[in-house]
A and B are shown apart, each in its own frame.
Chain A
Amino acid sequence: MRDRRHHLMYAAVVAGLCLAVFLLYFFPPTETRFYPRCIFHAVTGLECPGCGSLRAAHSVLHGEFATAFRLNPLLFILLPLAGLTWVVYRPAGLSAIPAKWIWALLGVIIAFGVLRNLPLAPFSYFNP
């Protein structure tokens, strides 16, 4: 029963990813309205640490890696780390990750969010 639920969940995740890749490849986020919007950006006008992710994904799908990196460099650093963490901690469970790493992650996310909004080079380069 539990196994079947897991399989269904994985199937749903894979289907969702395929749909997302399809949409992101053919419909650029800058020209379409149906993508989710960042409320933090809409309310404050500031770039949040996740802002630019959709545009970055669109760029990656079109092979424009430099543009993608400029749109959200944090994603490039954190995604491989997230994959590695998943592989290493899947057996023990994510609750076994040392807490200091999560605090460090939080620090990095917040620091990136602050820095990318500064009107100074090189930080302003990452304010898409």
Chain B
Amino acid sequence: MYKILGADQREYGPVTADQLRQWITEGRANSQTMVQGPDSTEWKPLSSFAEFAGVMPAAAATAPVAPTSYAGMGGAQPPVPNYLWQSIVVTACCCLPFGIAAIVFAAQVNSKLAAGDVQGAMESSRKAKMWCWIAFGLGLVSNLAFVAMSFAAQWFER
């Protein structure tokens, strides 16, 4: 089994050698992609794995890290998380306005991915994540403040 680091710096796998070969032919992984081989915890570029030399396209061997392509990624994890469920949860539980901003960026991730704009989708993904954390943080801080205030009120009543 192999694991790879995608262009988005996330781990994919473990997958079989066959699946990894398919990723190479689809352009999801190239010679520069960092790979963790079987029984190993060391990350090495894919070019150093002899077993995949046969499927490596000649042109890609010298190309810099290519953006992962979203099309035809059947069965694999999507390369760009959209933080949709997190956005909805923070909208309902923590902070409505910032949660809605997060949902907007989540929708942008999906529309950009559908249009093939992986770079743009990653940008929107980062923003969705950022707004989720802002909404969550604000919800947490304000709730702690509410709890503190209600305890303080109780204290002074006595």
**A93 close to B77 (CB less than 8 A):** yes
**Known contacts A94-B85, A95-B110; A39/B142 CB under 8 A:** yes
Q: Please choose the segment from B19-27, B51-59, B60-68, B87-95 that sits at the chain A interface, where 4 or more of its residues have CB less than 8 A away.
A: B87-95
Binding site for A on B (CB under 8 A): 11, 14, 75, 77-78, 80-82, 84-85, 88, 91-97, 100, 103-104, 106-111, 113-114, 121, 138-139, 142-143, 146-147, 150
Select which of A34, A50, A98, A103 is within 8 A of B93 by beta carbon: A50
- A17: chain B residues within 8 A (beta carbon): none
Q: Give the CA-CA distance A89 to B53 in the complex, in Å.
A: 34
Select which of A39, A53, A91 is within 8 A of B95 by beta carbon: A39
* 10 pairs, CB–CB < 8 Å, chain A vs chain B: A36-B139, A39-B95, A40-B95, A40-B96, A40-B97, A50-B92, A53-B93, A82-B88, A93-B77, A106-B107
A15 CB within 8 Å of chain B: no
Closest chain-A Cβ to B101's Cβ sits at a distance in Å of 11
15 additional contacts, CB 8 Å, given A97-B110, A99-B111, A109-B103? Answer: A33-B147, A36-B139, A36-B143, A37-B146, A38-B96, A40-B96, A42-B146, A49-B91, A92-B78, A94-B84, A95-B113, A99-B110, A99-B114, A102-B84, A103-B107
A-B pair number, CB within 8 angstroms: 86
Select which of B78, B95, B104, B142 is within 8 A of A95 by beta carbon: B78
- B80: chain A residues within 8 A (beta carbon): 95
Category for how many chain A residues contact B: 20 to 34
